Structure 1
Amino acid sequence: MTTVTTVTGAAERESVAVSELSRDPEGVVARVATLGRLRITDPGAPDLVLATAAHEAYDVEGLTVVARLSLALMRQDGAAAALLPALVEVYPWARHLGVDEGSAFAGELLAALAEVTDPGAGDAVRRVITSWRATAATNVAPEPPTDPPRPPNGA
């Protein structure tokens, strides 16, 4: 039995159960060739994605264009000041970063994006975002009390 999942958004995504891959590998490969990408689901394991090399190349090309355009825009006068509000729009937690921290986050993110075509670049971008999200969470965490709580009067 084939499990088909549709995800709303820019593109529809289909998926098949891993059992379908073992039962009908040629049919699954044909679907990958037609769709460009197909998610393989297994209830006991993380999903896998099969993609054609051409589809993957289009994804890398799109990321490269976005990264290069972002870097070029950042070189324009006044762009750094505009980037901080944009970061907060994309990452609402970034509002908890100070100005210097926000600038550092932007710089690290842009540096990681500049390497988007290198193997492992996605991991570098994810590490930057995860690290700065943790910093923002630390900035809003309540400080532990310095004195132990006192019992109420009369207790």
Structure 2
Amino acid sequence: MSSTADDHVTFSDLSRHPKEVAERATRLGRVRVTHRDAVDFYLTAADRQDLRDESLSAASRLFLALLKHDRSARTLMLAMPDVFPWVRHLSEQEAKEFTVELAEVLSDAAELDADPAVRETLAGWRATARIKADPAAYRAAQVPTEGDFGEVDFGV
């Protein structure tokens, strides 16, 4: 969903004008509520969120069924570069592993509300492709290291 000024309200607006904000959320489908001291959140009609959940569940079940009937994941692997252009930097085996893992975490997100796993999977495989896209960086990354390098940024 693209973002426009109409689909953003402040937490103060929500507090002062809850009925108007709820009507706007109903009309637009959802509104993003910004809060300067906390994370933003969305105000969404429950039936709309239920439809989104059903869509994710149907898509994940379709992907898993394709993998069940085609263990090589050929059908999905053919589509992967269109969706994730960076997959071309992965080996054929890595691309297959990514495809299977993504289908599995999408299923977990749909069935178990395990949404962060999707972002982590995408970030991890994208990072692998990024490092492999630069041969010098890839060689350097293969040198053994020691110690703790801190928190990992999963920005996708």
Question: Normalising by the residue count of structure 1, what TM-score does the alignment of the two structures yield?
Answer: 0.74
Paired letter, 1:62? S
**SS at 1:75 equivalent:** helix
Identity %: 36
Q: Which of 75, 99, 111 is 1:117 aligned to?
A: 111
1:1-80 → structure 2 map (5 Å cutoff): 6=4, 14-42=7-35, 46-77=39-70, 80=73
CA shift for structure 1 position 62 = 0.7
Which one has a bigger Cα radius of gyration?
A: 1
Contact 1:73 1:79 in 2 (8 A): no
| Bigger proportion of residues as helix | 2
Cα pair distance change 1:111/1:78, threshold 3 Å:
closer
C-alpha deviations, 1:99-124, integer Å up to 9, x for none? 1110110111111112222122x211
Unaligned runs of 5+ in 2: 141-156
Question: Normalising by the residue count of structure 2, what TM-score does the alignment of the two structures yield?
Answer: 0.73
Contact 1:67 1:114 in 2 (8 A): yes
Instruction: Judge which range, 19-28 or 70-79, deviates more.
Output: 70-79
CA distance in 1, matches of 2:85, 2:104: 21
Unaligned runs of 5+ in 1: 8-12, 147-155
Aligned to 2:121: 128
C-alpha deviations, 1:34-71, integer Å up to 9, x for none? 44421123567653211122221111001001111122
